[in-house]
Amino acid sequence: MSEAEDATKVREFWERAAASERDEQGLRPVARDPFLQEAVEAGMERWLDSRAKVADIGCGDGYSTLRFARNVASIVGVDYIPKFVDRARDEARQRGVSNASFRTGNVLDLEPIRAEEGPVDIAISIRCLINLNNWDQQRQGMEQIARTVRPGGLWLVSEGWSGGLRGLNELRKHTTLPPIVAAKYNVLIEREQFEAVATSFFKIEAYINLGFYLVMSRVLQPLVELPYPARHDHPINQLAANLQDGCSDSTLFRDCDYAGIYVLRRNGV
Ligand SMILES: C[S@@+](CC[C@H](N)C(=O)[O-])C[C@H]1O[C@@H](n2cnc3c(N)ncnc32)[C@H](O)[C@@H]1O
């Protein structure tokens, strides 16, 4: 399959996903693991500022955007699927959130967003770049985000880190569990490559390590559940997510962390 066909398939996947609020397992298609999503959002929330103008790139249904809206001056959610943008706008209207707006836009070209919104104090991206076809496009997306953040501003980013998935599969090798295979529309990112490009625009201010949660939910819970399949809404995941909060600053299971959050500070002032 060519990359052009890949891109069409990924877009079709998100267009279908945008048509329904929940999938067949009752989970949000944009964030199927509710406890992981909670850990990511809570980790990012601490870096928000009530005076900040924020952009949430690849915002999907806008639920996280609307959560972040409570802690900032204004936020724009951007997604390339118009149906998600419409749904997010409706949700904002229903909840009476007036400082959040939503726009259709592509992370590969954020110029129209910059033209409308100007530079932002904080950019957020949660699992957006992993939908792009290859590292070249991911690097382009990173550059686009960097150009959207004002000097001294922040980029809070949780994507899919390939080393973390390898680490989890190393652990699973010692069990009867099969390896986890990344979703076929996701291109996970090597952290070293990411950091090499990120540090030409940003300083790494912090890294929030989610390895503990991932080991508990992707290794321990599936073992406890055998022969039944693992579940994203399992009480072990909930417990692990609660405990995760206390070990985000440690390096515990960092080699199994495929979803950790980089806090990046834009160069210049
Ligand atoms: C896994 S979902 C995450 C949504 C949201 N960030 C969250 O955490 O709930 C990925 C989102 O990225 C969007 N996306 C994928 N490729 C994109 C692109 N090139 N430009 C903008 N958005 C994109 C998809 O439409 C989808 O809404």
d(CA 234, CA 236): 5
Q: Which of 79, 132, 138, 148 to mutate to test the pocket of ligand 1 (most atoms within 8 A of CB)?
A: 79
Q: Cβ < 6 Å from ligand 1: which residues?
A: 14, 30-31, 58-60, 64, 79-81, 84, 106-108, 126-128, 131
What is the structure's pLDDT at 249? 80
Q: Ligand 1 centroid vs 128 CA: distance in angstroms? A: 4
- 139 in a domain, yes or no? yes
d(CA 144, CA 152): 16
- 11 in a domain, yes or no? yes
d(CA 170, CA 165): 9
Q: What distance, in Å, lies between the first and last C-alpha atoms of the chain?
A: 45
105: domain range?
3-161+182-209
- 262 in a domain, yes or no? no
Q: Whose CA is nearest to atom 8 of ligand 1?
A: 126
Ramachandran bin of 96, using left for φ above 0, alpha for ψ from -120 to 50, beta for the remaining angles? left
d(CA 30, CA 40): 13
pLDDT per residue rounded down to tens, the chain (269 residues): 677 778 999 999 999 999 988 888 888 989 999 999 999 999 999 999 999 999 999 999 999 999 999 999 999 999 999 999 999 999 999 999 999 999 999 999 999 999 999 999 999 999 999 999 999 999 999 999 999 999 999 999 999 999 999 999 999 999 999 999 998 889 999 999 999 999 999 999 999 999 999 999 999 999 999 999 999 999 999 999 999 888 878 889 999 999 999 999 999 87
- 47 in a domain, yes or no? yes
Contact criterion met (CB below 8 Å) for 57 and 34? no
What is the structure's pLDDT at 220? 97
Q: Ligand 1 centroid vs 7 CA: distance in angstroms? A: 13
d(CA 4, CA 260): 29
Say how many residues make up the chain: 269
Q: Whose CA is nearest to atom 1 of ligand 1?
A: 30
- 221 in a domain, yes or no? no
Q: Which of 8, 14, 159 to mutate to test the pocket of ligand 1 (most atoms within 8 A of CB)?
A: 14
Contact criterion met (CB below 8 Å) for 12 and 131? no
- 7 in a domain, yes or no? yes
- 220 in a domain, yes or no? no
- 219 in a domain, yes or no? no
What is the structure's pLDDT at 1? 60
**CATH no. for residue 88?**
3.40.50.150
3-state DSSP of the chain: CCHHHHHHHHHHHHHHHHCCCCCCCCCECCECCHHHHHHHHHHHHCCCCCCCEEEEECCCCCHHHHHHHCCCCEEEEEECCHHHHHHHHHHHHHHCCCCEEEEECECCECHHHHHHHCCEEEEEEECCHHHCCCHHHHHHHHHHHHHHEEEEEEEEEECCEHHHHHHHHHHHHCCCCCCCCCCCCCCCECHHHHHHHHCCCEEEEEEECCHHHHHHHHHHHHHHHCCCCCCCCCHHHHHHHHHHHHHCCCCCCHHHCCCCEEEEEECCC
What is the structure's pLDDT at 21? 86
> What residues form DSSP beta bridges with 126?
158
For residue 238, the one-letter residue type is Q
The whole-model pTM stands at 0.96
- Per the structure, the count of domains in the chain is 1
